[in-house]
Amino acid sequence: MKQGFPIAAPGMRIGILGGSFDPAHEGHAHITHQAIRHFGLDRVWWMLSPGNPLKARGPAPMALRIAQARRIIPDPRVDITDLETRLGTRYTAETLSRLLPLYRGVQFVWLMGADNLVQFDRWDNWQEIMQMVPVGVLARPGSRLAGKCARAARIFDAHRLPAEQSHRLPLAQPPAWCFVDMPMSDLSSSAIRARGDWRGTA
Ligand SMILES: Nc1ncnc2c1ncn2[C@@H]1O[C@H](COP(=O)(O)OP(=O)(O)OP(=O)(O)O)[C@@H](O)[C@H]1O
Ligand SMILES: O=C(O)c1ccc[n+]([C@@H]2O[C@H](COP(=O)([O-])O)[C@@H](O)[C@H]2O)c1
């Protein structure tokens, strides 16, 4: 494996939580632990985006965001990675199409908060993402109805795995997705930035 790419063995169940992490916060750690539990994951990769294509504002420098992410989740089951920067990609569909051939036999699950499910149908080639990997969605305050109302949820309704079967998600044949409800965290990076106590904004 190329330098800077996380190591993974065939058969491992790995969740990828893509995000701006500007900055990382306990809400990210919370959904990561919930995802490990509900989807029976061996590991989770926090994949720090070089810049969300739908966000006008660029994030803080990668090195600052990585350092903060490490402080927030010193869990040996979690890898913090800048592999989109290494691959030179920022669209998730392109990232996954480059990544999957490098990790044959690994059972990946794309993870996201329910707010991202709401706008998932605006992502580049989002239906291809659904065909490539199972998708695990974690409840988020304000997005409770996303599992029913989001356009992506409606289009892929027939491929939804009931929450009681969430453990099956990593081995499910895509398209497959699962929405898990759980005790929620109302933390957000934008609230932290608004408070002005994240030095990445300086
Ligand atoms: N409190 C939370 N509950 C559920 N999901 C979350 C929470 N915070 C972040 N996420 C999810 O984690 C992923 C990365 O989120 P991101 O780094 O953009 O943080 P954020 O708090 O949503 O940032 P911002 O407020 O700037 O939009 C996204 O899929 C997002 O939905
Ligand atoms: O591929 C896209 O078109 C696309 C559009 C919006 C967001 N994403 C990805 O969604 C993930 C969450 O982004 P964010 O900024 O909400 O943390 C991150 O990995 C982004 O690259 C991807």
> What are the tens digits of pLDDT across the range 43-73?
999 999 999 999 888 999 999 999 999 999 9
Report whether residue 107 contacts ligand 1, using a CB cutoff of 6 Å: no
Over 90: is that where the pLDDT of 199 sits? no
**Structural domains in the chain plus CATH codes:** 13-195 (3.40.50.620)
Report whether residue 43 contacts ligand 1, using a CB cutoff of 6 Å: no
**Ligand 1 geometric centre to CA of 69 (Å):** 13
Quick one: pLDDT at residue 202? 41
Quick one: pLDDT at residue 88? 96
Partnered with residue 108 across adjacent β-strands are 14
Among all ligands shown, which has an atom nearest to the Cα of 27?
1
Report whether residue 23 contacts ligand 2, using a CB cutoff of 6 Å: no
Report whether residue 189 contacts ligand 1, using a CB cutoff of 6 Å: yes
Mean per-residue pLDDT of the chain: 95
Over 70: is that where the pLDDT of 95 sits? yes
Report whether residue 65 contacts ligand 1, using a CB cutoff of 6 Å: no
CA gap 175, 17 in Å, rounded: 18
Mutate which of 17, 25, 28, 185 for ligand 1? The one with the most ligand atoms within 8 Å of its CB, which is 28
Report whether residue 92 contacts ligand 2, using a CB cutoff of 6 Å: yes
The CA–CA distances, whole Å, from 47 to 15, 16, 36, 75, 146 equal 10, 7, 16, 15, 23
pLDDT tens digits for 122-167?
A: 999 999 999 999 999 999 999 878 888 999 999 999 999 999 999 9
Burial of 144 (0-12, 13-18, 19+ CB in 10 A): middle
Burial of 153 (0-12, 13-18, 19+ CB in 10 A): buried
